[in-house]
Amino acid sequence: MKTTRNTTAKTAVLEIFGKSKTALSHTEIYKLTADLCDRVTVYRILDRLVNDDIVHKIVGLDGTVKYAKCHHAHPVTIHNHAHFSCENCLEITCLESVKPSYIIPHNYKVNDINFTLSGLCPNCLNSNI
Amino acid sequence: MKTTRNTTAKTAVLEIFGKSKTALSHTEIYKLTADLCDRVTVYRILDRLVNDDIVHKIVGLDGTVKYAKCHHAHPVTIHNHAHFSCENCLEITCLESVKPSYIIPHNYKVNDINFTLSGLCPNCLNSNI
DNA sequence: TGTATATTTGCAACAAAATTGCATTAAGCA
DNA sequence: TGCTTAATGCAATTTTGTTGCAAATATACA
């Protein structure tokens, strides 16, 4: 079986996730590592983290891909919670408490869910933009 | 005020949308126009159509961007319905009837919603893949 | 602690997707 | 029909993500 190793680059990326309250894009993460490793390496670390369910991938309404650390008490197969994508500051945050309810047509098999709301986050709403 | 013109390219793109039951990517649309216009023009037409709320933009779980014509009887500001993204055939279809219900935290202002389910569509489910 | 081995990484090259600037074309109105 | 301005084509560029392979290094185990 393929085991996953704890490298310095991976540790650094995890630390970055720990410090950030919002979801981060590959580019943002790469910049925050400050030339610790190659661009490609960051892509591969993210792939592994997503695979190991340590981080989850979020796609914004505009198509931008971001990543955020999961806060599940236990591992889950479906990340059934909403994300908020702010149109002003472009930040994406997890709304862990917002779970959508819906009725699936019976002839579809659902494996994953992406529920993203966009608009203005509390910060930008206060700034009256 | 900026007016929107009905060009041959725009008409062709709209016709393509009319014929398609699933959402289409920029590349697919461009190919279907069969060299009627430049790749860039297709991007710009799609931008305009999205802006005019004639077409809406759908982002798949993998980050792929697709477009579909809206079928609203009346113009709406929020496209509050689900989309289904098939992992096998990669098609994205609108599930017009599936409307998510959810509770928004009061300090957020929601302008748009993206609710995408992914898994296997009825076709691929039948093929036992 | 040292060594074997399989995972990670860096580098370079590539591919796809999207954007921008500018000169030219054409849609729609008077 | 002619005028104004939106729309287009083209070329160049940026951004984003992928792949192959040799070198580096984390981990298990003797």
Q: Which pLDDT does position A74 carry in this prediction?
A: 58
Residues 9-68 of B with CB under 7 A from strand C: 25-27, 39-40, 43, 47, 65
Q: Which pLDDT does position A128 carry in this prediction?
A: 62
Establish whether the CB of A36 is closer than 7 Å to any nucleic acid atom in strand C.
Answer: yes
The Cβ-side half-sphere exposure at B2, using a 13 Å CA radius, reads 4
| Residue in B25, B92, B113 to test binding to A, most A beta-carbons within 10 Å | B113
The tens digit of pLDDT for each residue in B34-93 reads 999 999 999 999 999 999 999 999 988 778 899 999 776 555 566 677 889 888 888 889
The token duo for B61 is 């779980």
Is the pLDDT at A45 greater than 90? The verdict is: yes
The token duo for B80 is 């509050």
Name the average pLDDT for chain B.
88
Q: Which residues contact A54 (CB under 8 A, 6 or more apart)?
A: A14, A69, A70
Residues in chain A: 129
Residue of chain A minimizing CA distance to B56: A61
The token duo for A39 is 């661009």
Chain A residues with CB under 8 Å of B100 CB are: 100-102, 115
Chain B residues with CB under 8 Å of A59 CB are: 59-63
User: How many Å does it take to go from CA A33 to C1' D28?
Assistant: 29
| 3.40.50.720, 1.10.10.10, 3.40.47.10, 2.40.50.140: CATH of B8-126 | 1.10.10.10
Per DSSP, the three-state class of B124 is helix
Q: Which pLDDT does position B49 carry in this prediction?
A: 96
Is the pLDDT at A15 greater than 60? The verdict is: yes
| For chain B, domain boundaries | 8-126
Signed CA dihedral, B118, B122, B123, B126: sign only: positive
Per DSSP, the three-state class of B47 is helix
Q: Which pLDDT does position A11 carry in this prediction?
A: 97
The token duo for A83 is 């994300």
Average pLDDT over residues A65-77: 75
Chain B residues with CB under 8 Å of A98 CB are: 102-105
The beta-carbon neighbor of A63 closest among B59, B97, B115 is B59
Would you tell me how many other CB atoms lie within 10 Å of the CB of residue B114? 23
Q: Residue A83's closest CA among B86, B62, B109, B114? A: B114
The token duo for A59 is 């796609």
- Contact B129/A at CB under 8 A: no
Q: Which residues contact A114 (CB under 8 A, 6 or more apart)?
A: A58, A59, A83, B61, B114, B115, B116, B117, B118
The token duo for B84 is 């289904």
CA distance B25 to B58: 9
Q: Which pLDDT does position A14 carry in this prediction?
A: 97
Average pLDDT over residues A98-124: 86
Q: Which pLDDT does position A32 carry in this prediction?
A: 97
C-alpha A89 chain-centroid distance: 16
DSSP string for A22-88:
SBEEHHHHHHHTTSSS-HHHHHHHHHHHHHTTSEEEEE-TTS-EEEEE---SS--SS---EEEEETT
- Contact B61/A at CB under 8 A: yes
Is the pLDDT at A73 greater than 80? The verdict is: no
